[in-house]
Amino acid sequence: MKNFFKIVFGTFFALVLFTLCVSLLGIAMLIALARLSSGKKDPTIEKGSYLVVDLSTNITDTPPPSENERFVGRLFGGGDDNAVSLRSLLGSIDQAGKDDRIKGIFLHGSFEPAGYGSGFAALKEVREAVTAFHASSHKPVVAYLVSPSKRDYYLASAADKIYLNPFGEMDLTGLAAEPMFYKGALDKYGVGVQVTRVGKYKSFVEPFILQKMSAENRAQTEQLLGDLWGQFKTGIEQGRQIPAAQLQAIADENGIVNAQTAKEKGLVTDLAYLPEVIDNLRREAGDSTVSLDKSTFKQVDLATYAKQKGGKMESARATSMATLMDSDPKLAVVYAEGDIVDGDTDATGYVAGDRFARVLRRLRQDPKVKGILLRVNSPGGSGLASEVIQRELVLARQAGKPVIVSMGTVAASGGYYISTAADRVFAEPNTITGSIGVFGILPNIQGIANNNGITFDGVKTGKYADIFSASRPRTPDELNVIQRLVDDFYSKFKDRVATGRKLTVDQVEEIAQGRVWSGEQALKIGLVDELGGLDQALAFAKNKSGLPGDAKIVEYPAPREFAEQIAEWLSGEKRPLAASRLSLFGDGAHAGPLAAQLGQMQEDFEALAHFNDPMGVYARLPFDLRVK
């Protein structure tokens, strides 16, 4: 028997030791592979090359994962290589104008927005960069479109030559927002929903309590879409010299514009197939061996060009640990992109209050960091998390560090709440902002449970001990308790806005009530200080912080060490990158109408799953502001 136990335990420990050795060997191999992958020599860029920008690349504010992070993500079944940061894209375009190897820019493909990427405000910044590239360098910008969406054409209109596939069609239908309402279905299946809210325009809860848009929501959405459509027409007018009124007439008459009409109306330069366009590019690049059989031309893709180490170019995630630890003064650029949630998660697409506040605290305490630029692309979310983040920004200012906010596509509700701590706020004319209001949403499953033979019973030691139970509707007294929480947070929200924007509370009340504004309107009513993009905000932040124009920039979230990434995946703590934005029914501009509608329904209910404020109080953009 003694020998038996010796054999069993010996075998057990041998297996443990073997497993440990294999794991260590595997990690070592992964590290070696990652180093080989990241250590590849940059390809040579030929003189006369075009910088190729694939429009299907998702343009995000937050820097995409580093090469190591992508490598690890792919190993564990996650990862999204099809993304580029806005700052990296703008820097690449600017550098290309000064690079004598670059002949011009070639735009192709079609946007497939994911999460909060490739929004109209970001596209406006890219469009202005392309326009500046052409004006300063006199290098050509060529766009090739097949069936362009409004986003595609908005950016492509900055090109001096636009080619459209002869069988292509252009979407000039205008902008629309079509909320989906669930009250009828919830009533049918016995799911009750009670709400507490402040602000007649705070429409997030409407899909659960109404069967159509309220008059207030309809009015604010009409004005917002009118402002965004106006910016779209202004861009086309500047790029194609088509007056806004004429463009509106084309849109109203045709909706979907066929290729021949697009050429006749001056919307595009010419109709051509891709091989013909490539032939033209090769000829312009000085290649004398012109042949339609050749499908390539001198080119460098955006990702490759952005990783080049020369000149002033820098990859959005290329900030090294040496840069983070050196003694040079620097500006910190912090990205708040996604829904604001309570807690410490680092899942892609979310701004976690505790984790975000910890980053800001470290920056405040770092003497090398002279100022903070906060880039906001968020519809808001948890009220408590928004307060935690805003408080850290206030403390940073009190510590003598300027805080500048640059608003992206959306900086509303909780996204605007955190912006109130800034010394100066920048927004684009087509930024979606405001929505100063608060709500609580209280679903219960009593009906559907009882209909299926399920009942509830319990005991409690206080009148309100089970106030957050979903087994029954809330009593009037309980609703009053929750409404007091909502009213209290709304009062604090207005106080934050009044203090930050130097307005009276009464003035804030007039522009609050949960109403959504465009950046253009927000400037007029005092919610922002200046219209401008990320580059303008960066320049102002450096100057305000007493830093030179070429001062170092560190970006947060910062890249993690390779071993840390491996540990997160092995422990199950790391979610696949962008998994929170995947749809069972397709994603992006190319999903069919039915798939898009089902995908919208999925996203709506997934959003509720991430509502985790401890008190159930939320400052978030109206529920369904999807501009199509």
Using alpha carbons, select from 379, 374, 372, 373 the residue that is nearest to residue 349: 379
Q: Which of 618, 398, 436 is nearest to 522 (CA)?
A: 436
Is 188 catalytic? The answer is no
Q: Distance (Å, rounded) from C-alpha 606 to C-alpha 600?
A: 10
Instruction: Identify the residue whose tokens are 């500047």.
Output: 238
3-state class (DSSP) for residue 344: coil
Residues 76, 570: Cα–Cα separation, whole Å: 9
Closest to 80 measured CA to CA, from 107, 110, 59: 59
3-state secondary structure of 95: helix
Angle between helices 2-38 and 67-75 (to 10 degrees): 140
Please give the biggest Cα pair distance in the chain.
Answer: 95
Name the catalytic one among 203, 413, 545, 583: 413
Pairing of strands 169-171, 256-258: antiparallel
Helix residue ranges per DSSP H, 119-243: 120-137, 150-156, 183-189, 206-209, 215-240
Residue 625: name the closest of 307, 402, 380 by CA: 380
Cα end-to-end span (Å), the chain: 75
Annotated active-site residue in 103, 124, 150, 202:
202
Q: What angle do CA 145, 587, 153 make, to 5 degrees?
A: 25
Which H helix or E strand runs over 380? strand 380-382
Is 413 an active-site residue? yes
Rounded Cα distance, 330 and 258, in Å: 51
Tell me how far CA of residue 602 lies from CA of 190, 192, 270, 273, 433, in angstroms: 20, 19, 41, 38, 25
Q: Which residues contact 589 (CB under 8 A, 6 or more apart)?
A: 110, 111, 112, 113, 149, 151
Three-state secondary structure call for residue 401: coil
Q: Are 84 and 60 in contact (CB under 8 A)?
A: yes
Q: Which residues are catalytic?
A: 202, 413
